[in-house]
Amino acid sequence: MLFLGMANAYVMRTNMSVAIVAMVNQTALPKAEEAVDEECGAVGSANASAVFNDPEEDGEFMWDTQTQSFILSSFFYGYVLTQIPFGIMAKKYGAKYFLGVGMLVNSVFGLLVPVSARWGTLPLSIVRFVQGLGEGPIVPCTHAMLAKWIPPSERSRLGAFVYAGAQFGTVISLPLSGLLSRYGFAGGWPSIFYVFGAVGTAWSIAFLIWVHEDPDVHPRIRDAERKFITGSLGGEKNEQTPPIPWMSVLKSMPFWAILVAHMGQNYGYETLLTELPTYMKQVLHFSIKHNGTLSALPYLAMWIFSIVVSVVADWMTWHKGVSLTRTRKLLNSIGMFGPALSLVAASYTGCSALLTVALLSMGVGLMGGTMSGYRINHLDISPRFAGILMSLTNCIANVFALLAPLIAGFIVEGKPTQAAWRVVFFISAAVYAATACFYLVFASGDVQEWDDPDKDAYQAVEVGVNGQEARRRSRRDSQLEQAETQLQSP
């Protein structure tokens, strides 16, 4: 359910970028002269056929580029605004209802997009803003629920599987939105929002009915399984959760390692998936955005690779004895140094659009390694506060990523040459490499001392520190051994 929820979230996030092409009357809009480069031949020669407006496919709205940007960005403002507040509230009141109701709001307001668009750009932007507000809790609340349900031995593959729903949703959304905009009911593009809005609404209702906050409140789970999950996570039923240790979090270098890696990955992701296609259009005269298959290819590569590498991560840690810290650092390095090298290589592809697409797909695909790197690392260092930590890093990283198009626009404004774009790609590669190195130095896979469930649960068992530690561990290990034995029995 969390995998499908993440897929729905990214469908609702990306479908407007496809639909707006069909909503706008491209032919009737005044054409501003776009700066292009002729190092790879004249615009009308090599790949110009890929960039083509069919008057019969034009939409009904006269929105210029600035208006379109305002509409598309309105979702983001709502999304960022609710990250941290809902991350904190989910810790206090539970994540299930914030996640389910948030997605329900997102989906229901998605159904209102067609009618609000015909009322005007302001009503449409308000609807998209509210959708963003509803989607804000999704990532931190998902992290909070994973922290309550996934034993450490399954954390990499199940966590990566859930978050890979984002790529799966994008792979589904891009081509299907294109098909619906051309052949769908209700005039084409409105069917995009009706179909995905209905699917999201159905998922939200099913989630609120069938999914439970944690193993302790699940009515049908086996007692042995409940004990195994809660025991492996170091928790006890009805355990009092202490206040959020803000100062300890801010002093924690493993937390800063995750935050810095998240910022670097988001910056590079923005460059790979928004700026590289612009480079291909301006310099190589090829528009990947007008090809649904090619648009979805990088996301498909990332989805597949993230699933494969997550299985390897758990195998390395729990079967080969590699420390969790080393596993996280290794896979995160693949997920960040790989795209960095791809960006550097893409700046030297000359006039080969095919090779650039291949590098784009490879770079984004390798990024799937971060799903078993920093992305799931919050759960390692602080299982009980993972949702809050994710809300902090996700919010800051999304804001930081806004620098990517701003810096790229400043560098190539009026002079989109290969040399200028090479500077853009080198900056992104440097951000990737620098943040990956920071993670390599300071990351950890160990539960931090400010989030030690055993310490809170058993701090009064023994007076002596060493005796208390031994008593805590023996009680927890005994509980796990008993639960494992019961799980093995028929």
CATH of the domain at 426: 1.20.1250.20
Per-residue pLDDT band for 469 (boundaries 50, 70, 90) equals very low
Interhelix angle 386-400/83-93, nearest 10 degrees: 170
Q: Give the residue from 192, 211, 235 where a domain finishes.
A: 235
Residues 376/381/386/388 CA torsion (nearest 10 deg): -120
303 and 215 both lie in a single domain: no
Of 209, 235, 261, which residue is a domain's last?
Answer: 235
pLDDT digits (tens, 9 = 90+) for 14-50: 788 778 877 877 666 565 555 555 667 655 544 444 4
Same domain (yes/no): 424, 276 = yes
Domain membership of residue 483 (yes or no) is: no
| Last-in-domain residue among 235, 258, 274 | 235
Whether residues 223 and 292 share a domain: the answer is no
**Whether residue 323 is found in the same domain as residue 260:** yes
Longest dimension (CA), the chain: 81
Whether residue 165 sits in one domain with residue 98 = yes
Residue 469 lies in a domain: no
Q: Evaluate if pTM is beyond 0.95.
A: no
Contact at 8 Å (CB) between 188 and 181?
yes
Total domains in the fold of the chain: 2
Domain that residue 441 falls in: 250-451
Mean pLDDT over 273-302 rounds to 72
**Cβ–Cβ under 8 Å, residues 374 and 261:** yes
Is 345 found in the same domain as 207?
no
Greater confidence, 434 or 416?
434
pLDDT in tens, 341-350: 998 998 888 7
Amino acid at 22: A
Same domain? For 224 and 275 the reply is no
